[in-house]
């Protein structure tokens, strides 16, 4: 069966510091991968999605970036965090863009 | 443009009551897929159901049931005999055959009171 992992689970970072969140999927190959952000009490915002290694589509212009160095690894990064980057970050995978997306446990990021 | 509306921001019911969460969608595509997800306090989104636009049969899974009506563009979710563990935020979502991105509603926060 497929599983999706995210780490860290919680992160507290100062403004201006770098960020690296990791997401890995097991039990499937060539998945579509997604990064979402959920601000406190708000809905889900799609940040990036990837249909293959090195292929990244950005949905929202901001100081975040994503990379997919391996088939089942998706990384969310920032060179300098802003206060507004605080939120709950969710990674998801699907077998195809029309199929169900399955979500990881998420990372809670607090930027101080 | 595609859109998902969950008009109920927050609902509170007493345990064992039935509760229906509304979802109205907009799309001009004839082929699309609808989803419901549950987000408990832990944060992880849990997949509940996926329906395609050609299958209007209602679905029942234990205490959960879904009513899909294309005539009113609605995909409502009913929890029968609610339990405290049903307390969560519930998201309805849509993806059409022409899009690569799923559109989520803003969610309904459900409180089941003991």
Question: Which residues of chain B lie closer than 8 angstroms to A98, CB-CB?
Answer: 33, 95, 97
Selected residues 61-80 of chain B with any CB under 8 Å from a CB in chain A = none
Question: What pLDDT is attached to residue A90?
Answer: 96
Angle at CA B39, nearest 5°, toward A96 and A2? 40
Domain count, chain A: 1
Closest in A98, A102, A105 to B33, CB measured = A98
Q: For B26-45, what is the mean pLDDT?
A: 94
Tell me whether B105 touches chain A (CB under 8 Å): yes
Give the range of the structural domain holding residue B80, as residue numbers without chain letter.
3-113
**B47-92 residue pLDDT tens:** 999 999 998 888 899 999 999 999 999 999 999 999 999 999 999 9
User: Other CB atoms closer than 10 Å to residue B80's CB: what's the count?
Assistant: 14
Question: What pLDDT is attached to residue A64?
Answer: 94
Which CATH number do you get for residue B106?
2.60.40.10
A–B: how many Cβ contacts below 8 A?
Answer: 44
Give the range of the structural domain holding residue A66, as residue numbers without chain letter.
3-111
Q: Taking CA atoms, what residue in A is nearest to B34?
A: A100
For residue A110, what pLDDT band results from cuts at 50, 70 and 90?
very high
Which CATH number do you get for residue A9?
2.60.40.10
Answer whether residue A61 shows pLDDT above 90.
no
Answer whether residue B100 shows pLDDT above 80.
no
């Amino acid at each position: 069966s497929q599983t999706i992992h995210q780490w860290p689970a919680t992160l507290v970072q100062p403004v201006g510091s770098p960020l690296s969140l990791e997401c890995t999927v097991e039990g499937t190959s060539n998945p579509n991968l997604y990064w979402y952000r959920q601000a406190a009490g708000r809905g889900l915002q799609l940040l990036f999605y990837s249909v293959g290694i090195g292929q990244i589509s950005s949905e929202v212009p901001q100081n975040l970036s994503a990379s997919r160095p391996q088939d089942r690894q998706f990384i969310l990064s920032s060179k300098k965090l802003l206060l507004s980057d605080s939120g709950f970050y969710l990674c998801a995978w699907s077998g195809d863009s029309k199929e169900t997306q399955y979500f990881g446990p998420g990372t809670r990021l607090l930027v101080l | 443009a595609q859109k998902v509306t969950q008009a109920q921001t927050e609902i509170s019911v007493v345990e064992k009551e039935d509760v229906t969460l509304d979802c109205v969608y907009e799309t001009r595509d004839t082929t699309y897929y609808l989803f419901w997800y549950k987000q408990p306090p832990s944060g992880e989104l849990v997949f509940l159901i996926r329906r395609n636009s050609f299958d209007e049969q209602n679905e029942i899974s234990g205490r959960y049931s879904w009513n899909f009506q294309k005539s009113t563009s609605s995909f409502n979710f009913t929890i029968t005999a609610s339990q405290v563990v049903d307390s969560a935020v519930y998201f309805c979502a849509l993806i059409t055959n022409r899009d690569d991105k799923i559109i989520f509603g803003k969610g309904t926060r459900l409180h089941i009171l003991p």
